[in-house]
Amino acid sequence: MTAKFLSLTDSEYAIFISQLKQANERLNAFNFIDENKKSGKIISVKDNICVKGMPATASSKILQGYMPGFNATAVQRLENSGFSVIGKTNMDEFGFGSFGLNSEHPAKNPFNEEYVAGGSSSGSAVATALIKEHVSIAESTGGSISAPAAFCGVVGLTPTYGAISRYGLIDYASSLDKIGFIGKSADNLRDVMEKTVGSDPKDTTSLSNVISNKNPHKLYVIDNLVENIDESIKDRFEDLLAKLSAKDYEIEHVNVDYLEYSVPAYYILSMSEASTNLAKYQGFKYGFKVKDFSLNYNEFFMSARKQFGKEAKRRVILGTFIRSKSIKQRYYEKALAIRHAIIARMKKFLNDGFIIMPSMPIFTPKISEVSDISPVEAYSMDMLTVPPNLCGFPHMSFPYFYEKGMPLGAQIITDHFNDYSLLDFLSEWESGFKYKFKEEIG
């Protein structure tokens, strides 16, 4: 098969935009839709990635009105290859969230509007589920691609850290952020990956390593991670393993030390970096402007930073505390050590196989149910997506089952710079699995 992307005539485009706007009123997939006719293949872009001439708000009031005059490198490379951006997708503010609800108008699940879409790339997953032959450019810090892809029944590809330039990305945590893709087919995901991968002089963290596709036929299951998930999810996952075993994959159950510390280590590091990155929003330069210059120093900055949402404020406060001189050694430096220890232990298995696990530890929750979850409980929902993100390993969530009309996703992880092997695996899986995409538009 070859990659196929939606491309419309003038008359088709007008109908498409009308349908998209109607769907968006219900599902809040987009923060901005460009109604001007687009030539070429249509993609969407998460609202924390800059597109010239389109708002870039990261779903935050503090960035309302910010209009970048340049493209992110990933966007520019795709535009150079004949792609056009249809709009900017909804997300948790600055990427802070697992359910997609930390936004002024939270995205809703395309399979059932009572359910969450997942976060933080909620809008990208919803847009991909809705639009035929679509890929959305997204971003992951601790699971922001895998979680919404799993809940919305699409495929989320998170590349190796540094494989794709982060130039033009509105930072959350610089050592963790990765631009990636949400799509529906291995061919489409491979096409956009090939066109965006590679080093960039504008981003010193981007790497020039050649992406490979070393295809192991061994699957490792990390028992000390999977044992903590919902029992019904475990049962469905065992069914998946049986299917893969029938396809001649060798399954081996293992334990990996220190993974119980991956979530606290991740949040210590990500909050520390977030508090630094968000310090630049002072009411002067980006988005929201403080116009009353008679205010004293504290009042001026407080009036700007009141625009942050509740979760953003929480992470800035905690991150600033963690970075303080008296606390840094106790928490931050230990988190760095744990990160390196987990990388070494996971690499032992990724040298000759994939690691496979469910993408999320629970079934897709209803929006009404999430309001009863405490912040600590919400952070623990990332227990399966955090390890590969913390370590910068490429990983992919793909749909493998439908329970009462709602999709389930499984996550497969490979070694650094072996990204294309994930898409080879997906191609094989697609040949025998019947997807139920919500292709309503186009």
Q: Which residues have a catalytic role annotated?
A: 46, 120, 144
Give the closest residue to 121 by CA, choosing from 133, 105, 107, 135: 107
In whole angstroms, what is the distance from residue 308 CA to residue 47 CA? 16
Q: Tokens for 119?
A: 């976060």
304 to each of 61, 160, 293, 339, how far by Cα in Å?
Answer: 10, 35, 12, 34
Residue 368, burial from CB neighbour count under 10 angstroms (0-12, 13-18, 19+): exposed
Q: Which of 58, 44, 73, 2 is nearest to 309 (CA)?
A: 58
Q: Where are the alpha helices (DSSP H) in 104-201?
A: 122-130, 146-152, 186-196
* Assigned token pair, 210: 């050649």
Please name the residues in contact with 414: beta carbons below 8 A apart, sequence gap of 6 or more.
Answer: 216, 350, 354, 355, 393, 394, 395, 421, 422
Crossing angle, helix 186-196 and helix 419-430, to 10 degrees?
160
Q: What secondary structure does DSSP assign to 104-122, as a single string?
A: SS--B-SS-TTBB--SSSH
Residue 325's Cβ-count burial label (10 Å; 0-12, 13-18, 19+) is: exposed
Tokens of 395: 């990983």
Is the separation of the CB atoms in 254 and 223 below 8 Å? yes
From the list 186, 252, 197, 246, the residue with the least C-alpha distance to 222 is 252
Spatial CB neighbours of 264, under 8 Å, sequence gap ≥ 6:
335
Q: Determine the distance from the C-alpha atom of residue 158 to the mean position of all C-alpha atoms in its chain, rounded to a whole number.
A: 7
Q: What is the rounded CA–CA span in Å between residue 168 and residue 189?
A: 21
Residue 434 tokens, joined: 């019947």
Q: Is 435 exposed, middle or buried (0-12, 13-18, 19+ CB in 10 A)?
A: middle
